[in-house]
Amino acid sequence: MEYEVVIGLEIHAQLKTNTKIFCGCSTAFGAEPNSQTCPVCTGMPGVLPVLNKTAVAYAARAGVATNCTINRVNRFARKNYFYPDLPLGYQITQFALPIAEHGHLDIELPDGGTKRIGITRIHMENDAGKLNHDPMRPISLVNLNRAGVPLIEIVSEPDMRSAAEAGVLVRKMHQLVRHIGVCDGNMEEGSLRCDANVSLRPKGQEEFGTRTEMKNLNSFRNIERAIRYEISRQTDILDNGGEVIQETRLWNADKEISTSMRSKEDAHDYRYFPDPDLLPVVIDDAWYDEIVKSLPELPDAMKARYVETLGLPVGDAEVLTSTLELATYFDACLAALGTPTPKQAKLAANWVMGSVLALLHTEGMSLATVPVSADMLAGLLTLVEKDVISGTMAKTVFEEMAATGKEAKIIVEEKGLAQVSDTSEIEGIVDTILANNPSEVEAFRGGKKKLMGFFVGQVMKATKGKGNPKVVNQLLGEKLK
């Protein structure tokens, strides 16, 4: 039978606050086990949580960026369950009144179209600690450095119909949370991870099939692979007349299989109730406005601006908006150029996506420390635009800029790299070249037009690459008639 796949995602993003959500401990990754803990995050008797306001602002930012309604009054609830990595015996999360609800995000499909994915809700919660199972002894060690790190859980509607769509949403969300500065997106460190709810239904059927929840998906690759695995597993079951069991499954990235973690019968009763230790979170107008103002232009809006206003190809716009830093660099370069024409914009885009990105890759630099600032790049492009140097020469100048941090104009002056556009000066050289190569001139005039390249090369050689190619070509054309 042909099935339709139904996928919903729960994306957990660690908010990049300096301190934990309910205490003052550092959130830095990789410290000595249990060195970043205090009575509050180790769940000592008598401690009370105090909400980190930056975490609230970040969560609200994510809500605004995904077109959610922000609940101006939202509240924390306790999710009760026992586990050694959970010091209080409950997670402080949001249940009935999350910070954000009813949003959406448009994703780009492989066929070029877009699809709107509903965002059910975003809620804040604290992370649990980490258990390290001792391979030599039958014990586990608890590290509570992570316990209390602020997370948001972004819950999507079951709107995706393929693993690829789910992959696109996660990538888009990954880009978005980094772009708005609320999450570093470091998936190896667990800053962004994902659970996927997958079900199948016969094509055309309205009612959803039984779903399973896949946990522990911590890379883009794993997300798509795990979903594909689950689709084929469920397809096999249904094709053989079986029934899918509602359960939670754990993805094993090494073996590329998933295994059952717990069935619906074993599901926890979390006994949610409002946390009496925390007051409802109230986001008043002033704070809300501040949060909205703190948001940069969002990737989709930037992309639209690049395509519609600047006339850049969609592909370029995607590359340029892949990180906020790159887009900001590109925008700064455009601003330094004044009011760039589409041609100038395309030239700038090519340079940013080409030489600048290459420099970052080869030198392992960040845009914050790159020696060629956006203004400096604009300076270089202006020289090309004004025919002071050729595009080829510009590459050489760029390398020099990267090495020395000097302005393009200075380098061109110091090294005398300005191209020669003076017709009389070039004319003399052209005459000499033609006089010295009579047989080639003969052959050219006889129809071997390919020899044009030879003449241009000779002239450029004689001008040490500084001859304005346009002038050279024009003069040669005239003289060889």
> Which residues contribute to the site for Zn ion (CB under 5 A)?
23, 25, 38, 40-41
# binding residues, another protein (CB under 8 A): 29
Nearer to another protein, 92 or 401 (CB): 92
- β-partners of residue 7 are 160, 198
Provide, rounded to whole angstroms, the least separation between the CB of residue 94 and Zn ion: 20
Q: Return the one option of Zn ion, another protein, none that residue 467 interacts with (CB less than 5 to 8 A, by type).
A: none
Give CA–CA dist 331/306, Å, rounded: 10
Provide, rounded to whole angstroms, the least separation between the CB of residue 17 and Zn ion: 13
Q: Return the one option of Zn ion, another protein, none that residue 41 interacts with (CB less than 5 to 8 A, by type).
A: Zn ion
Residues 1-60 that bind another protein (CB under 8 A): 39, 42-51
Nearer to another protein, 48 or 304 (CB): 48
Q: Return the one option of another protein, Zn ion, none that residue 129 interacts with (CB less than 5 to 8 A, by type).
A: none
Q: Return the one option of Zn ion, another protein, none that residue 25 interacts with (CB less than 5 to 8 A, by type).
A: Zn ion
Q: What is the 3-state secondary structure (H, E, C) of 232-244?
A: HHHHHHHHCCCCC
Residues contacting residue 470 through CB under 8 Å, at least 6 positions apart? 387, 421
Provide, rounded to whole angstroms, the least separation between the CB of residue 274 and another protein: 8
Select the residue interacting with another protein from 89, 311, 313, 342 (CB under 8 A).
89
Nearer to another protein, 48 or 73 (CB): 48
Q: Return the one option of Zn ion, another protein, none that residue 95 interacts with (CB less than 5 to 8 A, by type).
A: none
In single-letter form, the type of residue at position 399 comes to: E
Nearer to another protein, 42 or 191 (CB): 42
Nearer to another protein, 48 or 109 (CB): 48
Nearer to another protein, 246 or 294 (CB): 246
Nearer to another protein, 41 or 117 (CB): 41
Residues 250-269 that bind another protein (CB under 8 A): 269
Q: Return the one option of another protein, Zn ion, none that residue 405 interacts with (CB less than 5 to 8 A, by type).
A: none
Nearer to another protein, 80 or 235 (CB): 80
Taking CB under 8 A as the binding criterion, the range among 80-88, 177-185, 339-347, 434-442 that sits at the site for another protein is: 80-88
Q: Residue numbers of the site for another protein (CB under 8 A)?
A: 39, 42-51, 78, 80, 82, 84, 87-90, 142, 269-273, 276-279
